[in-house]
Structure 1
Amino acid sequence: MDPVIIVGAGPVGLALALALAAQEVPCVVLDEGAGEDEYRPARTAVLRADTAGFVERLGCGAALHEEGVRWNAWRAVRRRQLVHRHTFADAPEGVAGTGEARGHGHGLPGERDAAGRGSAGLGGLGRGAGRGPGEVTGPGPDANAAEEGVEGVPAPLHVPQHALTGALRAALAAPPAARLVRLVTESRVDALEQDAGGVSVHTRGRHETWWRGGYVVGCDGARSTVRKLLGIRFPGRTAVERHAVAMLRTELPWPGEAVLHRRPPWRSGGDEVSARPLPDGGWRLDWLLPPRGELVTPEALVSRIRETLAGWCGDTPAYELVDTGVYAVHHRLARSWRVDRAFLAGDAAHLLGALGTQGLDEGLRDAENLAWKLAGAWHGGDSPQVLLDSYEAERRTAVAARLRAADQALPALRSGGGLRTYLRGGARGLDALLADAHLGRGPLGAPPAYPLSPLTPMDPESAVEVGTEPGAPVADVPVTAPDGTAGRLRDRLGRSALVVLVAPGTGVWDRRHWVTAGVMPRLAETVRALPVAAELLVTEAYPGAAAHTVLLVRPDGHLAAAFAGVHPDALRTAARTLRGGAPDRQGSETPEEASVP
């Protein structure tokens, strides 16, 4: 079959090419630019644990580390319980500095600094100058390995976007991607045609020619040419939020920690300001601007910087201003994400970013979701149309839910009125909701689940409930392969489905014994005969799962099904459903009981 054509060489397009190459699918990436990434330190991205893990599995960890990003920070973190310290976040001026801070949730009661100001935080308080009321802090995305996550959630990773794109390009130049991916620069798409056998894409510029492919994916941004050529509408809201941003080098009182400060006392700085650490002593500062305010002049931005630093540090410390910008957040969702052999991903399919939601996160999830499905269809499948249709069914539904949650929360979070219509707990709930969005929890930030996916078997007779619902991301438990290779479950994702046996005691048993004991031989034989490529793994325990539970995990890390014991017929049926085949009634054989392990 002809290669997959990817239009756009931003992070989403490059990640998709790498994910397809890992599954032996050739690609052509058409880049309108010259193949060089503009150095813009103020243009950064926040990656949650799942998308950071995806990028790392693509082979980008070492390259990002060389750029100064401490890549393993989010994976090596210890856990910290939520400490939410709050004092009159929305109190009138003159009242906020006099109240007693009170804690809620888990953790310590609030503290007050020398000036008597309370603080609201997610831990790590008490160092340097005191924080003001309404301030929420968390572990820094680029903190060292000793920094802690919150309530079991690894700290997000904060990455300069040029560093991320450079790392992806470097991975494309290395095997096996170098053999399978062709990156074509200075080539702008201006025509697209489809037929029963594939797609034809015409470019002008350096390479004025037609390109033939089996499928085409538009990863060409908010002004997507592919989307326009397909005639897909892109409705939504313009300028939902506006932000001023500055990248500077300075010393702040909380090294390695990200800070979100709502309604700071120096109100001329705006209603919300955040700071995130970057490599080499850098910080990115973001100020929420009025939706339709005046232009932000260089003088006004410098005034904001000095005022904010003075508010945090007591006086304005020395700083070096490196880069600035002003950007607007739009909320848009393409009406459809697939037209026959053409697909949309990333900003071409959706725009979001208000209240801490992350558009690049969702774009990378698009790439991870689509890659294994395109690979399955490219290599041949029983029912590729169902498999390919599931991309839009899953991803568009998930992004629509994220946009809906943000739209519902915006009136409460930004207007200061009507809060109890949306949240319980008043301002405390407000801070918690916003913190969830930034930390990657709840409806605004948590990784999506696909409970209604057409790839999920419907009520199999032998299914069993575990701590993960079908369609939700699996827990990252330690696993061992039959050859003795040990690691984490999420490190094995991407190339095939995973079949995981919960087998207590395998950590202390000699591998030579347990690989041939109990249900292992029968399960291994079943896995080899599945209609999808699958890897067999063993774990000592999985949340909510009894001994001898068998999990079927999708290549993108979502649970397809869980079974009470080894049911070959049920597992085969679930695997057929996973590849887009029509589900049928599960077999009713009695599960084989396991004496060992």
Structure 2
Amino acid sequence: MEPVIIVGAGPVGLALALSLARHEVPTVVLDAGDGRITPRPARSCVLRPDTAALVQRLIAPEPLPGARWMVWRTLRRGQVLEQRDFTPADAPLHVPEHTLRKAFRAAAGRTGLVRIVDHSKVVELEAYEDGVRARTKGEQGEVWRGSHLVGCDGIRSTVRKLLGTRFPGRTAVERHAVAALRVALPWPEEALLHREMPGGKGGEVCARALPSGVWRLDWLLPARGELVTPDALLERIQETLAAWTGEQDPAYELLDTGVHTAHQRLARQWRRGRVLLAGDAAHLLGALGTQAVDEGLRDVDNLAWKLALHRLGAGDEGLLDSYEQERRGAVVARLRAVDQALPLVRNAGALRTLLPGGARSRLTLLTDGHLGRGTLGAAPEHRGSPLTTAPLGGGVATEPGERAEDIPLTALDGTRQALSERLGARLLVVLVAPGTAVWDSRHWLNAGVMPELAAAVRALPAPAELFVTESYPGAAAHTVLVVRPDGYLAAALPGVHREELGRVVATLAGWADGRDRASDGGPPAGSSRGGGATDPDPAPGREPAEDGARVAGQGTA
């Protein structure tokens, strides 16, 4: 079967290639750059627990890059208005983008399923009933074939332009002067947001720890105007460090600088047939602490398993439609929350009228995006998704469409792992079976409801893995949980009901007539329904240059 073509070798494109490799799906990553990764510590991203766990799965067995903050502080003048202490499980991960890209490139080389082709700018594409073709710029005009194509090529996405998809929004919603320093600050492994520093010129600065004693500092600038000269930036650094350390001439090493400008834009369409958009090609955000790479990785987690099922023929068109419905809907909610919060956070008069508590409430709202909570920062929910089954009386604390708890699981071979470590490949079917944690799996594999449930899982219309767990919040014994590969609870069934389980998985695969699909088992896992052509190709993903003349019509996908 032909590979999936991914355009763009940034963090999102590489993460998608690695996620598809977990499904044994080959990919060709076409990138206009030369493959060199320049260290830029002033370009960094903050990953929440869900996206950090995704990165760990993709680069395993290598450890996560970056630094975790164990404490966050919000300060006004010299007073701490809020402090949050994190556990290792929920601490944000702060990582330089170049480090993340290096880790992804190294992991891609270990899979044997990811081919990265540099110096390959896409100039034409065409989608047809069962595949996609893309032409890249070069002396021979190479043409690449794939089952699907995903544009992960950033803010100036060529794929989006070839599709003719509009990208409306607002420019320069927020700007920050940025500096990466190696310096000793009083808060190791921490992060803070400080407004109106004593002895300074006021304003707002955010400091976030990176590995090896490096810190990223961001100073809020007017949305437009005010060029940041080198002398002005050095003055800001000196003034800020003096206020924090109490030294008039604090020692530091300046590593990198820049200006970060946050835009808010949203593509009108994220899918047109077999061509899709993800990451900055689909959306731009970054004001009030929201994180663009974080949201791009959530696109990846949502899309990868759906593409894999669609290629297998185990997922209908509704499954790919749900990617845009779920992820675009989540980003719309995030952008709307930023629009509503900006005048409250930046306009003290409006804040006093609408938010009781004055400056304290103002800063609490401002830190939501940084801390990954509330509408500005928390992981989205998909309770209104067409893939979500209505609650069926399972009684669990998690509603379908919410992220499942990271519970310990036991596989049928007796191995034990956290649920977060098993995500990213197949659907998870989990039986709540008190007592199984203390027994060897051979004692319960053929006891109780397990044989019936195992047979039901084998007959499902999409690949799934069966696990047991000792307990789940609010769940009674013999509750059956269905968890999507991206960690969202699809359904909780009050017992083993083979037909109902089949209907849930058929709905999850995007079939509107889920009940009928459940009864006939759906298409076989190896069918070509929805997949690409299966004729052999001596160089998968690539056609001879002389065949390229057949590809025409920019933006016809």
Q: Deviation per CA, 1:97-128: give whole Å up to 9, x if none.
A: xxxxxxxxxxxxxxxxxxxx4322315xxxxx
Root-mean-square deviation over aligned CA pairs:
2.1
Name the CA distance, whole Å, in 2 between partners of 1:369 and 1:426. Answer: 39
Give 1:420 shift.
Answer: 5.2
Pick aligned residue for 2:370 from 416, 438, 447: 438
- Whether 1:384 aligns to 2:309 is no
Q: Deviation per CA, 1:189-234: give whole Å up to 9, x if none.
A: 1111122221111111376311111111100000001000001000
Name the CA distance, whole Å, in 2 between partners of 1:354 and 1:206. Answer: 42
- Whether 1:398 aligns to 2:330 is yes
SS of structure 2 residue aligned to 1:418 = helix
Partner of 1:238: 171
Name the CA distance, whole Å, in 2 between partners of 1:292 and 1:213. Answer: 43
The answer to whether the Cα contact below 8 Å between 1:390 and 1:455 also exists between their aligned partners in 2 is yes
SS of structure 2 residue aligned to 1:248 = strand
Report the AA paired with residue 55 of structure 1.
V
Report the AA paired with residue 356 of structure 1.
G
Higher relative contact order (CA 8 A, sep 6+): 2
Of stretches 496-505 and 356-365 in structure 1, the one that deviates more from structure 2 is 496-505
TM-score (norm 2): 0.88
Name the CA distance, whole Å, in 2 between partners of 1:350 and 1:421. Answer: 32
Name the CA distance, whole Å, in 1 between partners of 2:57 and 2:354. Answer: 38
Partner of 1:161: 97
- Whether 1:15 aligns to 2:10 is no
Partner of 1:291: 223
The answer to whether the Cα contact below 8 Å between 1:411 and 1:417 also exists between their aligned partners in 2 is no
Pick aligned residue for 1:214 from 147, 155, 165: 147
Partner of 1:277: 209
Name the CA distance, whole Å, in 1 between partners of 2:301 and 2:31. Answer: 20
Partner of 1:492: 422
Partner of 1:325: 258
Q: Deviation per CA, 1:41-84: give whole Å up to 9, x if none.
A: 1111111110011111112561655xxx35xx58xx7xx9x9x8
Pick aligned residue for 1:118 from 79, 86, 108: 79
The answer to whether the Cα contact below 8 Å between 2:431 and 2:479 also exists between their aligned partners in 1 is yes
Give 1:341 shift.
Answer: 1.0
Pick aligned residue for 1:512 from 428, 438, 442: 442
Name the CA distance, whole Å, in 1 between partners of 2:17 and 2:217. Answer: 32
Closer, same or farther: CA 290–119 of 1 in aligned 2, 3 Å: same
Closer, same or farther: CA 322–541 of 1 in aligned 2, 3 Å: same
Closer, same or farther: CA 335–488 of 1 in aligned 2, 3 Å: same
Partner of 1:144: none
- Whether 1:199 aligns to 2:132 is yes
Give 1:247 shift.
Answer: 0.5
SS of structure 1 residue aligned to 2:81 = coil
The answer to whether the Cα contact below 8 Å between 2:355 and 2:361 also exists between their aligned partners in 1 is yes
SS of structure 2 residue aligned to 1:192 = strand
The answer to whether the Cα contact below 8 Å between 2:434 and 2:471 also exists between their aligned partners in 1 is yes
Partner of 1:352: 285
Report the AA paired with residue 243 of structure 2.
G
Name the CA distance, whole Å, in 2 between partners of 1:366 and 1:191. Answer: 24
Closer, same or farther: CA 391–4 of 1 in aligned 2, 3 Å: same
- Point out where structure 2 has 5 or more consecutive residues left out of the alignment: 518-557
The answer to whether the Cα contact below 8 Å between 1:187 and 1:206 also exists between their aligned partners in 2 is no
Closer, same or farther: CA 306–60 of 1 in aligned 2, 3 Å: farther
The answer to whether the Cα contact below 8 Å between 1:497 and 1:555 also exists between their aligned partners in 2 is yes
Name the CA distance, whole Å, in 2 between partners of 1:508 and 1:63. Answer: 30
Pick aligned residue for 2:232 from 293, 300, 304: 300
Q: Deviation per CA, 1:258-316: give whole Å up to 9, x if none.
A: 11112323452x52111111111111111111112310100000000011011111124
Closer, same or farther: CA 207–282 of 1 in aligned 2, 3 Å: farther
Partner of 2:107: 171
Pick aligned residue for 2:180 from 247, 251, 255: 247
Report the AA paired with residue 118 of structure 1.
Q
Name the CA distance, whole Å, in 2 between partners of 1:584 and 1:194. Answer: 28
Name the CA distance, whole Å, in 1 between partners of 2:470 and 2:18. Answer: 32
- Whether 1:531 aligns to 2:469 is no
The answer to whether the Cα contact below 8 Å between 1:187 and 1:207 also exists between their aligned partners in 2 is no
Q: Deviation per CA, 1:389-417: give whole Å up to 9, x if none.
A: 00000000000000000110000111222
Partner of 2:304: 371
Partner of 1:256: 189
Closer, same or farther: CA 51–422 of 1 in aligned 2, 3 Å: farther
Name the CA distance, whole Å, in 1 between partners of 2:164 and 2:292. Answer: 23
Partner of 1:546: 476
Report 1:61-80 matches (<5 A): 62=62, 64-65=64-65, 69=66
Report 1:90-169 matches (<5 A): 117-123=78-84, 148=87, 154-169=90-105
Name the CA distance, whole Å, in 2 between partners of 1:573 and 1:422. Answer: 47
SS of structure 2 residue aligned to 1:494 = coil
The answer to whether the Cα contact below 8 Å between 1:219 and 1:344 also exists between their aligned partners in 2 is yes
The answer to whether the Cα contact below 8 Å between 2:334 and 2:376 also exists between their aligned partners in 1 is yes
Partner of 1:411: 343
Q: Deviation per CA, 1:125-162: give whole Å up to 9, x if none.
A: xxxxxxxxxxxxx65xxxxxxxx46xxx7111000110
SS of structure 2 residue aligned to 1:5 = strand
Name the CA distance, whole Å, in 2 between partners of 1:534 and 1:48. Answer: 27
Runs (4 or more) in structure 1 with deviation over 6 Å come to none
Closer, same or farther: CA 85–162 of 1 in aligned 2, 3 Å: closer
Closer, same or farther: CA 183–206 of 1 in aligned 2, 3 Å: farther
Name the CA distance, whole Å, in 2 between partners of 1:195 and 1:344. Answer: 17
SS of structure 2 residue aligned to 1:187 = coil
Q: Deviation per CA, 1:339-386: give whole Å up to 9, x if none.
A: 1111000000000000110010110111111111111111113x5210
SS of structure 2 residue aligned to 1:370 = helix
Count residues with an aligned counterpart.
516
Pick aligned residue for 1:340 from 273, 291, 309: 273
Give 1:482 shift.
Answer: 1.7
SS of structure 1 residue aligned to 2:296 = helix
Of stretches 197-206 and 566-575 in structure 1, the one that deviates more from structure 2 is 197-206
Closer, same or farther: CA 163–221 of 1 in aligned 2, 3 Å: same
Of stretches 384-393 and 523-532 in structure 1, the one that deviates more from structure 2 is 523-532
Report the AA paired with residue 438 of structure 1.
H
